[in-house]
């Protein structure tokens, strides 16, 4: 088989694969899977925020101010996480 012919055939095959992958993005089978995501997403960010606040308080001796601030920042981060993953689901 001549080399050029093989190359064009390779190109066509690659394009086909790309098209197929693009098509697959439309029907996402993971709806139940992503639904499980949301609950822990919210809690984890709050927990991480509070832990960071706790560490800051321990190092600077400013209890309870950093815990208070970072708790609420964590809540905001959790809500952002949930909104973001919900948006990803709708894509």
CA-to-CA distance for 86 and 91, rounded, in angstroms?
9
Of 48, 54, 56, 89, the one binding other proteins (CB under 8 A) is: 48
Instruction: With contacts defined by CB under 8 A, name the span among 4-12, 60-68, 73-81 that binds other proteins.
Output: 73-81
Stretch 4-43 residues interacting with other proteins (CB under 8 A): 18, 21, 24-25, 28, 30, 32-34, 36-37, 39-41, 43
List phi, psi (to 5°) of 49.
-60, -45
Cα 48 to the chain's mean position, in Å?
16
CA distance 37 to 39: 6
d(CA 19, CA 16): 5
Q: Give me the residues that bind other proteins (CB under 8 A), please.
A: 18, 21, 24-25, 28, 30, 32-34, 36-37, 39-41, 43-45, 47-49, 52, 70, 73-74, 76-78, 80-81, 88
């Amino acid at each position: 088989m001549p080399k050029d012919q093989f190359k064009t055939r390779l190109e066509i095959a690659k394009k086909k694969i790309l098209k197929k992958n693009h098509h697959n993005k439309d029907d996402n089978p993971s709806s139940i899977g992503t639904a499980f995501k949301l609950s822990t997403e919210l809690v984890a960010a709050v927990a991480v925020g509070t832990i960071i606040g706790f560490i800051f308080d321990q190092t600077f001796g400013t209890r309870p101010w950093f815990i208070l601030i970072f708790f609420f920042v964590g809540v905001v981060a959790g809500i952002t996480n949930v909104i973001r993953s919900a948006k990803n689901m709708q894509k």
